[in-house]
Amino acid sequence: MLKKYSKKGLEKRKEERACLPEFFQRHIEIARTKSCENCGDVLIGDVSEIAHKLPKSKFKSIQCDNDNVTFLCSYKSNNNCHSKYDGSNEQLQCLSIFSEERLKILKLLEKVTEKYNWKILERWKIE
Asked if residue 95 lies in contact with residue 85, where contact means CB atoms within 8 angstroms, the answer is yes
pTM, entire model? 0.87
- φ and ψ of 8, to 5 deg: -65, -40
Which of 2-6, 68-72, 109-113 bottoms out in mean pLDDT, i.e. has the lowest? 2-6
pLDDT in tens, 85-115: 999 999 999 999 999 999 999 999 999 999 9
- Determine what percent of the chain is predicted with pLDDT higher than 90: 76
CA separation for the pair 119, 124 (Å, rounded):
10
Please give the pLDDT value at position 118: 84
Count of residues in the chain: 127
pLDDT for position 117: 85
In whole angstroms, give the CA distance from residue 51 to residue 105. Answer: 13
